[in-house]
Amino acid sequence: MWRFVARRTIWAVFLFIAVTFVTYVIFFVAPSHPEKLAAGKSATPEQVQQVAHYLNLDKPVWEQYAIWLKNLVFHASLGRSFVNQRNVNDIVLSAAPVTASLVFGGAVLWLLVSIPIGVLSAVKPRSAFDRGAMVFVLVGISAHPVWIGLILAYLFGYVLGVTPISGYCDFVNPPLGAECGGPIEWGYHLVLPWATFALLFSALYVRLIRATVTETMSEDYVRTARAKGASSGRVMRSHILRNSMLPVVTILGMDIALALGGAIFTESIFGLPGLGRSVIVAYEASDLPVIVGVVVFATVVIIIFNLIVDCLYALVDPRIRLS
């Protein structure tokens, strides 16, 4: 087990270096004269040269990246914004809880929806419930998150008025000057964003769970358990669900990464001050350090989450750590 974890950790480190290097090159080397963006439009050539020296942009690419990586790893520094000189760490850390609330809350909701629907659909194939579930899958896969979010906001926020259309409330006590706060208001304002994620991803998971449960039900060890007199509930819990959920655990790690990308659309629709909105604002202002900071932070989160999922997968299925 420990060898498997060590191999995965080493691979995660190499992946981190590769992704951060490509990200640095794309945003700080490929653009022409990023030092001009940092210095401002009214800066003189001498000031631009000073900024380039301060940002180490006058050094070779590998040395630029080495200095930047050293500041990141040993000092946990993502630099400062070109626009307002604010610490990028503060920008990312203030927006990260919003995106985390959106993504992980949505993940919990889509699992709560998709697992029972997928299992029941596999247990009762070609029934009215199964056909209705497949229609739900088709709609969920075909629809864009922007369309889903707008429809939900219009129906439940504007027409029925049962949920807020936009805005975010802090989970803890409201800060000074905030209009709302606390767990209840926090969840109340995230109902529609969570539902948007759930409708999109649960459709994919219903199809996956239905297929894996159907395949597992035809395995020899399931028929053997039933022949020995095991009850249907025990067979479902101990044999079918445990083995059919392994692909779900694997794909969940990848879908968290996909959800982080889709959070940009959802945060824009519902006015959530998360990482997606920070990237859009930084892109419009050509604020490269903020964009790079968000990308690097998301990369680290995705790598760590996938490492945890791989370890959990190996813990559940011993065959994985022996391969």
d(CA 61, CA 78): 17
Amino acid at 41: K
pLDDT of the residue at 316: 63
Look at residues 192, 239, 205 and name the one whose alpha carbon lies nearest to residue 112: 205
* pLDDT confidence tier of residue 323, bands split at 50, 70 and 90: low
d(CA 119, CA 207): 10
Look at residues 187, 188, 167 and name the one whose alpha carbon lies nearest to residue 178: 167
Q: What angle do CA 298, 164, 116 make, to 5 degrees?
A: 65
Whole-number mean pLDDT of the chain?
81
Q: What is the largest CA-CA distance in the chain?
A: 85
Q: What is the pLDDT of residues 240-264, one digit of tens each?
A: 887 787 778 778 777 777 777 778 8
pLDDT of the residue at 23: 86
Q: What angle do CA 275, 300, 304 make, to 5 degrees?
A: 120
Least confident of 70-74, 84-88, 197-201, 260-264: 260-264
Q: Which CATH class is domain 88-322?
A: mainly alpha
Domain chopping of the chain, boundaries: 2-75, 88-322
pTM: 0.79
Q: What is the pLDDT of residues 195-218, one digit of tens each?
A: 888 888 888 888 888 888 888 888
Please say if the pLDDT value at position 317 is more than 80: no
Helix ranges (DSSP H) in the chain: 2-24, 34-39, 45-54, 61-75, 88-123, 128-142, 145-152, 183-189, 191-217, 220-227, 232-235, 242-244, 246-270, 275-284, 288-316, 318-322
pLDDT of the residue at 173: 63
pLDDT of the residue at 321: 52
pLDDT of the residue at 177: 57
Q: Which residues of 34-47 are buried (b: 16+ CB within 10 A; e: fewer)?
A: bbbbbbeeeeeeee
pLDDT of the residue at 244: 80
Q: What is the pLDDT of residues 157-176, one digit of tens each?
A: 888 888 888 888 887 766 55
